[in-house]
Structure 1
Amino acid sequence: MSTALTVTLHILDKEYRVSCPPEERSNLEQAARHLDTTMRDIRNSGKVIGIERIAVMAALNISHDMLTGTRQQDSTLDSQQKHINDLVSRLDQALARHQP
Structure 2
Amino acid sequence: MSNETVFVKILDKEYQVACPREERQALVESAQLLDERMKAIRGTGAVIGLERIAVMAALNLSHELLQAKNSSTGTGGSANQSDLLRLNEKLDRSLANLG
TM over 0.5: same fold? yes
State the partner residue of 2:52.
53
State the partner residue of 1:23.
22
For 1:13 and 1:70, the matched residues in 2 are separated by 31
For 1:70 and 1:53, the matched residues in 2 are separated by 25
For 2:14 and 2:53, the matched residues in 1 are separated by 16
For 2:44 and 2:65, the matched residues in 1 are separated by 22
For 1:21 and 1:48, the matched residues in 2 are separated by 34
For 2:23 and 2:13, the matched residues in 1 are separated by 21
Question: What is the TM-score of this pair, normalised by structure 1?
Answer: 0.73
Higher relative contact order (CA 8 A, sep 6+): 2
For 1:70 and 1:12, the matched residues in 2 are separated by 28
State the partner residue of 2:92.
none
Residue 23 of structure 1: CA displacement? 0.3
State the partner residue of 1:67.
66
Query: Which consecutive segments of 4 or more residues in structure 1 shift more than 6 A?
Result: none
Count residues in correspondence: 75
Name the larger-Rg structure: 1
The one-letter amino acid of 2:26's match is N
* Secondary structure in structure 1 of the residue aligned to 2:15: strand
* Secondary structure in structure 1 of the residue aligned to 2:64: helix
State the partner residue of 2:97.
none
Q: Deviations over 1:23-72 (max 9, x none)?
A: 00000000000000000000001110000000000000000000011001
Identity of aligned residues (%): 52
State the partner residue of 1:6.
5
State the partner residue of 2:85.
none
